Chain A
Amino acid sequence: MSSTGRVGADQPPILTFEDVTKRYGDLLALQGVSCQVNRGEVVCMIGPSGSGKSTLLRCANALETLEGGRITFDGADVHAAGGDARKVRQRMGMVFQNFELFPHLTVLRNVTIGPTTVLGLDRAAADARARALLAKVGLSDKAGQHPAALSGGQQQRVAIARALAMEPALMLFDEPTSALDPETIGEVLSVMKALADEGMTMVVVTHEMDFAKRVADWVVVFDQGRVIEQGPPRQIFEAATVQRTREFLSHLGWHGESIAEVAAGE
């Protein structure tokens, strides 16, 4: 594994995982995971279901506790005793597989609730910020609707706007397209691609291999709670050195060529 030329390598990494261990009862969900995310980098985490990718993401913003190891964000230990998980979470946006929009609030209020309750922004400033973000994800006309009136793809774009409203330093995406109908996956991926192009630091747990290949700067492959391989996408998708990685990719029907239309937007 070589990190020469890795994006953001000239600065200290924004997020590091050092020998992270997580256990659910008898199940060892993470068995000594180490990797890092540099500033401005898009890191895609791939691997079979249940391999620990999503768990690692929830550990990153302290929605889960650790049994061992260390996670640092901007140099500070996320799980330090007496540390303030809320301070970390405010600066890390998170997008969930099932959107998790707040169904009792309008789209606009879903996006403003973070800034108004957590950052103390006044209503007018929060509204202005939210409307700009809704325009950015192409949903200006939905501001007054409730989430239930939106398609899955639209809901997920609102969820992205909601996370961005906190002006995070880092965005975590937990299988953002896994719960979507095929025809709405593209609109979400293109919003994510646009975000990556702006230089947003992103960690994306995904099964969208085409997205990973085209947008990721770095790919981490998980299997059974371990990182089995990591490297730039070209290496992972075209010259994987680990047999298990090749098996996983070919199981998905990946043989190096472009699979589906990934609406990468351009």
Chain B
Amino acid sequence: MTSGWSLIWENADRFAAGALLTVELTVLTMILAIPGGLVLAFLRLSRWRVVRFAATAFVELFRSTPLILQIYWVYYILPVFTEIRLPGLAVALTGLVCNISSYNSETFRAGIVSIRRGQWNAGLALGMTNAQVMLRIVLPQAAMRVLPALASTWVSLFKDTALVSVIHVNDLAYVALKIRTETFVILPVLNAMALFYWLMGYPQAKLVDWIHRRYKVAE
């Protein structure tokens, strides 16, 4: 019987691969969920009611149900209705992107509406189109304001990616839980999993704290 820590050491490459996938999932999800959130935010600010309603329904669905359920949905239900069977990683990514886009859309929307009417008027008074005012005046300011909120979402996302282990995506959580099942070594494996998440998550949380301090709204 190998001791706990030597077991971890023997499986270092698998843990490393899992950790890498966790980071990749987090980065890819955010890269897609930022434009996704922006599009949803624009749709929710649309002048057409039908568009607003559809976007709101989407956002509220994904904000008000558990992420683990959404991942199962994409995994089991999407193939039934669409005959699309995505590989596990794509399923995980789809679920995460829908979920995080919904959160991001609320963040962006709050940022956009927080820019006072006078800034719009100043841009329009120069002869700009609405799109130009949005792109050059409102969005850059809104982005600065919502950066802390986006950073917080990022850290939550990093930890929540562990949920994709339920559909056999080889992320850090899945690898750890699999090694546990293979070896029946429970505590050391869970401790190692906790340590690895913490080692990666703590610097991110600190960075977020710094972003919060650095980008406090100053008028």
Binding site for B on A (CB under 8 A): 58, 61, 63, 86-87, 89-90, 92-94, 96, 98, 100-104, 113-114, 117-118, 148, 162-163, 166
Does any Cβ of A come within 8 Å of B218's Cβ? yes
The total of interchain contacts (Cβ-Cβ below 8 angstroms) comes to: 61
Give Cα A148–Cα B141 distance, bound, in whole angstroms: 14
User: In the complex, how many angstroms separate the beta carbon of A63 from the nearest chain B beta carbon?
Assistant: 5
Q: Please, which residue of chain B has its CB at the minimum distance from the CB of A148?
A: B218
B126, A102: Cβ atoms under 8 Å? no
Pick from B126, B137, B140: contact of A118, CB under 8 Å: B126
A104, B122: Cβ atoms under 8 Å? no
Pick from A89, A98, A104: contact of B127, CB under 8 Å: A89
User: In the complex, how many angstroms separate the beta carbon of A192 from the nearest chain B beta carbon?
Assistant: 17
Q: Please, which residue of chain B has its CB at the minimum distance from the CB of A62?
A: B124
Q: Please, which residue of chain A has its CB at the minimum distance from the CB of B118?
A: A100
Give Cα A92–Cα B124 distance, bound, in whole angstroms: 11
* Chain A residues, Cβ within 8 Å of B219: 103, 148
A61, B137: Cβ atoms under 8 Å? no
- 28 sample A-B contacts, Cβ–Cβ < 8 Å, listed by A number: A58-B121, A63-B125, A87-B127, A89-B125, A89-B127, A90-B126, A90-B127, A93-B125, A96-B118, A96-B121, A100-B119, A100-B122, A101-B122, A102-B119, A102-B137, A102-B141, A104-B140, A104-B141, A113-B126, A114-B126, A117-B126, A117-B128, A117-B132, A117-B136, A118-B126, A118-B127, A118-B128, A163-B125
Give Cα A98–Cα B119 distance, bound, in whole angstroms: 10
Binding site for A on B (CB under 8 A): 118-119, 121-129, 132, 136-137, 140-141, 144, 218-219
* Chain B residues, Cβ within 8 Å of A102: 119, 122-123, 137, 141
Give Cα A117–Cα B131 distance, bound, in whole angstroms: 11
User: In the complex, how many angstroms separate the beta carbon of B85 from the nearest chain A beta carbon?
Assistant: 46
* Chain B residues, Cβ within 8 Å of A162: 126
Give Cα A94–Cα B120 distance, bound, in whole angstroms: 13
User: In the complex, how many angstroms separate the beta carbon of A82 from the nearest chain B beta carbon?
Assistant: 16
A86, B127: Cβ atoms under 8 Å? yes
* Chain B residues, Cβ within 8 Å of A63: 121, 124-125
Pick from A86, A92, A96, A118: contact of B122, CB under 8 Å: A96
* Chain B residues, Cβ within 8 Å of A104: 140-141, 144
User: In the complex, how many angstroms separate the beta carbon of B138 from the nearest chain A beta carbon?
Assistant: 10
A103, B136: Cβ atoms under 8 Å? no
Pick from B126, B137, B140: contact of A89, CB under 8 Å: B126
* Chain B residues, Cβ within 8 Å of A61: 125
Give Cα A98–Cα B218 distance, bound, in whole angstroms: 16
Give Cα A118–Cα B124 distance, bound, in whole angstroms: 10
Pick from B124, B125, B129, B141: contact of A103, CB under 8 Å: B141
Give Cα A93–Cα B136 distance, bound, in whole angstroms: 19
* Chain B residues, Cβ within 8 Å of A148: 218-219
Give Cα A96–Cα B218 distance, bound, in whole angstroms: 20
Pick from B121, B128, B129, B132: contact of A100, CB under 8 Å: B121
Give Cα A204–Cα B215 distance, bound, in whole angstroms: 37
Give Cα A175–Cα B197 distance, bound, in whole angstroms: 57
Assuming the A-B contacts A103-B141, A148-B218, are A166 and B127 also in contact, with contact meaning beta carbons closer than 8 angstroms in the complex? yes
* Chain B residues, Cβ within 8 Å of A92: 125
User: In the complex, how many angstroms separate the beta carbon of B215 from the nearest chain A beta carbon?
Assistant: 12
Given A86-B127, A96-B118, A103-B141, 9 extra CB contacts under 8 A: A86-B128, A94-B125, A98-B118, A102-B123, A103-B219, A114-B127, A118-B126, A148-B218, A148-B219
* Chain B residues, Cβ within 8 Å of A113: 126, 136
Give Cα A163–Cα B219 distance, bound, in whole angstroms: 22
Q: Please, which residue of chain A has its CB at the minimum distance from the CB of B125?
A: A94
Q: Please, which residue of chain B has its CB at the minimum distance from the CB of A98?
A: B118
* Chain B residues, Cβ within 8 Å of A163: 125-126
Q: Please, which residue of chain A has its CB at the minimum distance from the CB of B122?
A: A100
B119, A166: Cβ atoms under 8 Å? no
Give Cα A114–Cα B128 distance, bound, in whole angstroms: 8
Q: Please, which residue of chain A has its CB at the minimum distance from the CB of B142?
A: A104
Give Cα A86–Cα B132 distance, bound, in whole angstroms: 12
